[in-house]
């Protein structure tokens, strides 16, 4: 029997056992295999995984092949799956072990730039992006069939070492669904696969923040003006200042106060005369007048003689 002859059907339980043995043997030999483990009937549980699987089901040309692929991945047939820039490499256990390679072209630059532009200001952090915690509008934009993150059918090349003549055999379909399960655990691999930087969706946010702050400040000024117009009053007339008070340093304020006090004291010293000084001046004035009278009377007496 040649390698290209059809092999007999292998029951699911036996296939799982074979997969476990192959993985264990590889580990003992020091080889790293990364199997796809689906814990329940649901292949993908998170936003990115579900969105990837939903996109697969838009490939109507392969509609009849997808169900077999789902069954294979649920049964643990994908014993190794690695996602690299522009390609997925995997091993699948069927009647024997097959090698699958899927090529995906880089996300077109114009499409990526449009995605970044449309999502600017809507995604706050990388963690939020990877966890799919953003608005439904952003989700819909990232997952649009023809202009989102996911590959179009014509952007994918499929290959498998099995004898099936179909372009998408059940092993390839299993690997494609396995990518969805892997994105549950490592959603950043989608950006690796499409060869774009997830941070581009966040760095554009930096340019938006200053503009938002300016708009907020402008709205505050407009609100104050509108309030004055409605009530027909000036805010300053009520003792309400729209500017924050400028605090002076305590040392400078103290110096200014001392200087003013010194000047005031000096002025008071010049213009104010104490009571004792007033009495002395009055006595001196009276003595001068008395002496003048005595001298005058003496002169008159000598004239009469």
- Mean pLDDT split into 10-residue runs, the chain, 305 residues: 55 73 80 88 92 92 91 94 98 91 97 92 81 83 90 95 91 97 95 94 60 47 46 43 48 47 48 50 54 51 52
Question: Full-prediction pTM beyond 0.75?
Answer: no
Which phi and psi (to 5°) does residue 90 adopt?
A: -150, 165
CA dist 225 and 227 (Å) reads 5
pLDDT at 152: 94
pLDDT of residue 102: 98
148: Cα within 13 Å, side-chain hemisphere? 16
- C-alpha 99/C-alpha 3 separation (Å) is 14
Q: What is the model's pLDDT at position 201?
A: 84
User: Residue 93's beta-bridge partner residues?
Assistant: 97
In this structure, the number of other CB atoms found within 10 A of the CB of residue 49 comes to 23
Q: What is the pLDDT of residues 245-282, one digit of tens each?
A: 444 545 444 444 445 444 554 444 444 444 555 555 55
- Domain extent listing, the chain: 12-107+149-198, 207-236
Give the CB-side neighbour count of residue 114, counting CA atoms within 13 A: 12
pLDDT score of 286 = 61
Please report the DSSP string for 162-225 in residue order: SS--SSS-HHHHHHHHHHHHHHHH-TTHHHHHTT--TTHHHHHHHHHHHHHHHHHHHHHHHHHH
| Chain CA centroid to CA 8, Å | 54
Contact 70, 132 (CB under 8 A): no
So what's the pLDDT on residue 301?
A: 54
pLDDT of residue 222: 45
Contact 61, 153 (CB under 8 A): yes
């Amino acid at each position: 029997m040649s390698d290209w002859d059809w092999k007999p059907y292998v029951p699911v339980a036996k296939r799982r056992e074979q997969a476990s043995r192959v993985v264990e043997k590889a580990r003992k030999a020091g080889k790293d295999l990364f199997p796809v483990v689906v814990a329940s009937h649901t292949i993908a549980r998170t936003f990115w995984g579900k969105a990837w699987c939903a996109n697969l089901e838009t490939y109507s040309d392969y509609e009849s092949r997808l169900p077999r692929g789902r069954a294979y991945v649920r049964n643990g047939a994908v014993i190794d799956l690695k996602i690299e820039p522009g390609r997925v490499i995997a091993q699948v256990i069927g009647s024997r072990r097959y090698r699958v390679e899927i090529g995906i072209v880089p996300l077109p630059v114009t499409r990526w730039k449009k995605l970044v532009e449309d999502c600017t200001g809507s995604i706050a952090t990388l963690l939020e992006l990877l966890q799919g915690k953003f608005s439904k509008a952003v989700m819909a934009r990232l997952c649009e069939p023809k202009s989102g993150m996911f590959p179009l059918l014509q952007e994918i090349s499929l290959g498998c070492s099995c004898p099936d003549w179909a372009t998408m055999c059940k092993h390839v379909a299993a690997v494609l669904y396995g990518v969805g399960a892997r994105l549950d655990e490592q959603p950043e691999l989608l950006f690796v696969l499409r060869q774009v930087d997830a941070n581009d969706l966040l760095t554009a946010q930096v340019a938006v923040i200053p503009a938002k702050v300016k708009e907020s400040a402008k709205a505050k000024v407009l609100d104050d003006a509108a309030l004055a117009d409605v009530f027909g009053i000036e805010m300053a007339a009520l003792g309400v200042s729209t500017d924050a008070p400028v605090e002076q340093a305590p040392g400078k304020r103290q110096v200014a106060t001392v200087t003013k006090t010194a000047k005031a004291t000096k002025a008071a010293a010049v213009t104010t005369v104490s009571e004792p000084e007033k009495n002395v001046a009055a006595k001196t004035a009276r003595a001068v007048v008395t002496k003048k009278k005595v001298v005058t009377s003496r002169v008159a007496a000598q004239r009469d003689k």
